[in-house]
Structure 1
């Protein structure tokens, strides 16, 4: 494959990442606030918090806490970017107390309203402009197909699947295959449908990534960079029947791909660090633990300051003692008290001790190496 591996940190098994764009006519922030209040009232989430806007500018930041499975706590943080003509982009990072189970609800359900894919105006893929969880036909223009699939093959935020329709499907076959996926994957998988005549152009676009869509089958694209352990043949499905039956092999391929260790996408590291280090939505027990940790840190700092003060005092006493010795020694040699010039006065006790020792050392060396006293003259004869 031409896709390169990466040495970037991988997504921890306890973490789920999501990214999307709100393209609806309503205000995205108002939708979030309304949904969070509604979810808390219905006890679908334990609590939520909107951080003060001046502290998070230019983004708006929301936190939510929930429990999944057998009482596993999940903390999630969503950042909503300022609006543009295309909509408002958002990034979500969630972390559970244990490795993530795909059968758990999507963390996006902790913030956004539950809507079927065609109506989920909050969940547009910023890379492709289409919506995860829906069956999205490829563009009719060949150049547009090539651009789209190349972007999809490099996207690290979503899981992209290309399905080739061996023949035009009926109404049952037009339903998205992602509906068969575990709940935690449905809004992260983007399904692209290649019409019967588009097999050749689709494979031409994916050739540089070493990926091929089997005729009448499907393939999970590698993402950028391809995760360790990804091999195109292992994630290609030879036949997908669009007759309303469950595509067991395709579901298995997507689940296996999701289990691979993938590198953190661009921008995800900062979001994960913010979730772990800047979390504000604390339970009373967490508040108590944090206050205890603060008290412990303050105690350590006070102890360090006390030890530093004692060492400084001890150094000052030694410096004064050495200075007194030096004055006595100098006074005894010259018959006059030793006087230190202002420039020679030490700026600190420790520095004074060092200079005093140097003076004593130089003085002793000078007396040893000085000329001898002349011998007395012989008496006159």
Structure 2
């Protein structure tokens, strides 16, 4: 069975719902508890260097001092993914509480905020090199790692999952607000993220050698700092023997992150099986994938998506149904079919994190209440209780 791991980025917020630059202090608390790593260690890991970070280091800095990152250990089952995400969200929140803040699984800040860069040589270089793009970005994503046998299998997988990646953006949409107003997007994080010059979809690769040659060519332009900035929608991890899928917003609910992880593992296994069987990758232009990504970020699951098999608009419910059918044999073999099917049904029935954020805003008229509700859900409260508590 393929193993899976999940990385999540979280906002650090105060009682008024404003992101506050207290992640470094929270990470200091976590480090004292044996639960975090420092900026220098994280910079080295981002560059693909060996860090010697102990396996217990799961809370990490991010680009802005108003956010932190968590990572699960390697997991074999979706039950383990759930338990580890729940545990590390709780540890992140406990570290934030120790410095007078909380954490919220929001992909953008609903309330207006002035982002504060994290101190550190690599982060300073990012701001110096990319100017306003680096200064303004304060977004939180979810990255799913799935194990692969080697680079050749990894590239075969990348070539065959490309068309489904925009659908992952739609089902994870959790960023409707930007700088104090409704963006009109379900995932505005996906719009902001694509300001980075190396972000987005790519063409298929002939083999692993071509993949690495393209990465070398990207680095040779002198535009990105290091391999950590090769922001392809899906890529080979520079550190682990995994395919890393990077298109999703951080999920408001843990169970939605688990559904995402199950879908990604199913896509990777299905693609690997197709490659072994000699099934050619779908012929989808990168230009079409960019449009499909925009469509997914704009409407989430509330409108049409670009269907990966036809390149034409189709209702989100139909696209998710075809996605489930596509990965069903792999899900069944991993014991994930029921859990992922129920998770996708739940997303279609109750909506995404973006839908919940907008509902809270309609009911309360307060973006601070949106953040308070998100803090409660992130902490594991029942959604109805968290929403009711946010309106007080």
The normalised TM-score by structure 1 is 0.26
Task: Work out which structure has the larger RCO, using CA pairs closer than 8 Å and 6 or more positions apart in sequence.
Answer: 2
Higher helix fraction (1 or 2): 2
Q: Which has the larger radius of gyration?
A: 1
User: TM-score with structure 2 length normalisation?
Assistant: 0.26
